[in-house]
A and B are shown apart, each in its own frame.
Chain A
Amino acid sequence: MFHWLEKRPFFFAVGVFIAIAFAGLIEILPNFAQASRPVIGTKPYSTLELAGRQVYIKNSCNACHSQLIRPFKSETDRYGHYSLSGEYAYDRPFLWGSKRTGPDLMRVGNYRTTDWHENHMKDPAAVVPGSIMPAYRWMFTNEADINTAFAEQVTVANIFSVPYNKPVPMKDGSTAVVKMGNNVKEAKALALEEAKVIAADMKDQDVKDAVAKGNIPEIVALIAYLNSLK
């Protein structure tokens, strides 16, 4: 058998491929059906939150911040309940990160406010003395891309059956509905509605003015996303 293989480059390549492929076959594929079910209390992202998530990704926040709480006392003390697989059911892509240069953000919405984020993103070291995080001032002027966020919503709703405009069960027994617009205009109106709530808690006058005029700066979307992490 081995003699035969040594003489034939083509079958050699096939052999190598089988050797490297079967780990994936056994290890990864069969898990797919099981791991993607949401736990109770996990909602899809709203348009504005999704736009914020895209801002998070655009700036590679995941290069320094994890979103994965491991089941150790030191981690649950610091960040809250350890992560459950189903909580990530609507995360495309996942944002676990691989390095905690800054703290974990999996449940940052539980203990930080809009106001805190606003000051922190403007000047991290002023809020947390000694912080090495850079400031993200351009997020206060760049505009969030609601169109792309909406396109992403429609894509996941169509292809992966993410339940927009449908009731999803919450922890207290009630149901919640995350709305998705029928067209760009509606989507923007929904996002703006949410943005106004965020902007009301912010101090930056330029951001407030922009939202009043119907524009949504990146920072507003980002804060909406961070507040949704619970």
Chain B
Amino acid sequence: MDIATLQAYGYFVLTVGLTVILYAYIYHLYKNRKDADGHDYEEYSNIALNDDIVDTPVNAVSKTEDK
């Protein structure tokens, strides 16, 4: 198999893969209102709105948990 054929297969596989991943992500976002930490995605807009250093973080880093 010459390099162009391999390239063409690679291109096809990656394009399909890309499509699948993106659609899976769309589905994931559509299905889950909340993220892994149990926060509604839309809450995260508040990170910009309440961004004083004394404001309470939307999702605080706790000392015990790893980053």
Contact = CB atoms under 8 A, between A and B. Distances in A.
A7 B7 contact: no
B3 A30 contact: yes
A16 interface: no
Interface in B10-52: 10-11, 14, 24-25, 28, 32, 35-37
Interface size range on A against B: 10 to 19
A34 B36 contact: no
Given A2-B25, A30-B3, A30-B6, A22 B14 contact: yes
A130 interface: no
A227 B25 CA distance: 57
A33 interface: yes
B67 interface: yes
A33 B14 CA distance: 22
Interface in A2-30: 2-4, 6-9, 22, 26-27, 30
Given A26-B7, A26-B11, A30-B6, A9 B67 contact: yes
A4 B36 contact: yes
Interface of A: 2-4, 6-9, 22, 26-27, 30-31, 33-34
18 contacts: A2-B24, A2-B25, A2-B28, A3-B35, A3-B36, A4-B36, A6-B35, A6-B36, A22-B14, A27-B11, A30-B3, A30-B4, A30-B7, A30-B10, A31-B7, A33-B3, A34-B3, A34-B4
